[in-house]
């Protein structure tokens, strides 16, 4: 079950609301208890909900960084998507259909239709065991572990396509945060946590993308020394070694 913890690399390192963090912890606790008690179908359901939470966080990043594009791709979807106040607001849409929003971020893939189809199959399997159909397909942890591996593979795929959006948000953050007198928070760590981490629900993987960004492209900015301080503070706080 150790590999299952890797899902947290894709989930936010901090939450705006304690209720959001409590919800993620509740799902993980449900997964653990059902796994340990060999109730593998229910463990899969909880783990799949963690995956869907990751998907919602990923879509939220599109909404918060590229709002104009988001307003275009949400056409034809539930009207409530545009009114969402946090990533969980996207749950108003049918889970299978919400994956179609990822066609925007995954557009560079050679076969987007097949890619999205794989993600939808997980929803179908989760829905299948959520009904009283008299079957127990998850009889062993071997089958569950294979599904966990698939989920982690899919999370990494989706994550990889978000890199341009994450680095775009980081560049904007650095530019807008370089002046201590005009940014939201004077304290550098508070600015990072509130205006970057919380705002975009960044995960450990997202932060790695931020720290891969070449800040020297901003060397002509008037307060480049503060940009360097922001970058270093982010690196120090999350103790990530960048090659």
Structure confidence at residue 74 as a pLDDT band (50, 70, 90): very high
Residue 142 shares a structural domain with residue 200: no
| Average of per-residue pLDDT across 34-56 | 95
What pLDDT is recorded for position 242?
44
CB 219 within 8 A of CB 178: no
Domain count of the fold of the chain: 2
What pLDDT is recorded for position 131?
67
> Cα 215 to chain center, whole Å?
23
Distances (CA, A) of 15 to 64, 86, 129, 200: 15, 11, 30, 10
Q: What's the pLDDT tens digit per position in 176-191? A: 999 999 999 999 999 9
**Gap between the Cα atoms of 139 and 121, Å rounded:** 20
Q: What is the 3-state secondary structure (H, E, C) of 126-194?
A: HHHHCCCCCCCCCCCHHHHHHHHHHHHHHHHHHHHHCHHHHHHHHHHHHHHHCCCCCCCCCCHHHHHHH
End residue of a domain, out of 116, 135, 161: 161
Residue 51 domain-assigned (yes or no): yes
pLDDT above 60: residue 240: no
What pLDDT is recorded for position 22?
96
Residue 86 domain-assigned (yes or no): yes
Residue 1 domain-assigned (yes or no): no
Q: DSSP secondary structure string, the chain?
A: -GGGGGGGGSSBSS-SSHHHHHHHHHHHHHHHHHHHTT-HHHHHHHHHHHHHHHHHHHHHHHHHH-HHHHHHHTTTS-GGGTT-SSGGGGGGS-HHHHGGGGGTTTTTSTTHHHHHHHHHHHHHHHHHHTS--S-----SHHHHHHHHHHHHHHHHHHHHHTHHHHHHHHHHHHHHHS-TTTSS-SSHHHHIIIIIIIHHT-BHHHHHHHHHS-GGGGTTSTTHHHHHHHHHHHHHHHT----
What pLDDT is recorded for position 243?
45
Residue 125 shares a structural domain with residue 178: no
Residue 29 shares a structural domain with residue 148: yes
Q: Which of 122, 108, 194 is nearest to 152 (CA)?
A: 122
End residue of a domain, out of 138, 161, 184: 161
Residue 243 domain-assigned (yes or no): no
| Average of per-residue pLDDT across 194-207 | 95
pLDDT above 90: residue 80: no
Residue 170 shares a structural domain with residue 56: no
Residue 212 shares a structural domain with residue 105: no
Residue 234 domain-assigned (yes or no): yes
Residue 197 shares a structural domain with residue 209: yes
Residue 204 shares a structural domain with residue 154: no
Range of the domain at 28: 7-161
Residue 13 shares a structural domain with residue 131: yes
Residue 172 shares a structural domain with residue 52: no
| Average of per-residue pLDDT across 43-54 | 96
| Average of per-residue pLDDT across 64-92 | 92
CB 101 within 8 A of CB 59: yes
Residue 109 shares a structural domain with residue 195: no
End residue of a domain, out of 161, 179, 204: 161
Residue 82 shares a structural domain with residue 112: yes
**Gap between the Cα atoms of 193 and 210, Å rounded:** 14
What pLDDT is recorded for position 126?
86
Tell me what the pLDDT averaged over the chain comes to. 92
Q: Which of 4, 12, 53 is nearest to 33 (CA)?
A: 4
Q: Exposed, middle or buried: residue 3 (CB in 10 Å: 0-12, 13-18, 19+)? A: exposed
Residue 216 shares a structural domain with residue 148: no
**Gap between the Cα atoms of 137 and 191, Å rounded:** 48
Residue 104 domain-assigned (yes or no): yes
What pLDDT is recorded for position 125?
87
| Average of per-residue pLDDT across 5-30 | 95
């Amino acid at each position: 079950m150790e590999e299952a913890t890797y899902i947290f690399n894709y989930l936010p390192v901090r939450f705006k609301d304690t209720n959001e963090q409590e919800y993620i912890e509740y799902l993980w606790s449900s997964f653990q208890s059902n796994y340990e008690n060999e109730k593998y179908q229910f463990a899969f359901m909880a783990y799949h909900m963690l995956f869907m939470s990751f998907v919602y966080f990923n879509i939220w990043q599109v909404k918060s960084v590229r709002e104009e594009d988001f307003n275009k791709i949400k056409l034809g979807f539930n009207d409530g998507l545009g009114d969402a106040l946090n990533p969980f607001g996207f749950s108003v849409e049918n889970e299978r259909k919400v994956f179609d929003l990822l066609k925007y971020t995954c557009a560079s893939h050679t076969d987007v239709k097949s890619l999205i189809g794989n993600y939808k199959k997980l929803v179908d399997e989760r829905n299948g065991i959520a009904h009283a159909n008299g079957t127990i397909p998850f009889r062993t942890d071997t089958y569950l572990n294979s599904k966990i591996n698939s989920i982690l593979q899919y999370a990494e795929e989706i994550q990889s396509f978000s890199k341009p959006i994450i680095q775009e948000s980081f560049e904007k953050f650095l530019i807008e945060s370089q002046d201590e007198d005009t940014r939201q928070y004077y304290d550098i760590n508070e600015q990072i946590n509130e205006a970057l981490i919380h705002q975009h629900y960044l995960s450990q993987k997202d932060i790695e993308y931020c720290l891969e960004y070449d800040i020297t492209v901003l060397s002509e900015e008037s307060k480049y020394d503060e940009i360097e301080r922001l970058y270093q503070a982010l690196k120090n706080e999350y103790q990530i070694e960048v090659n």
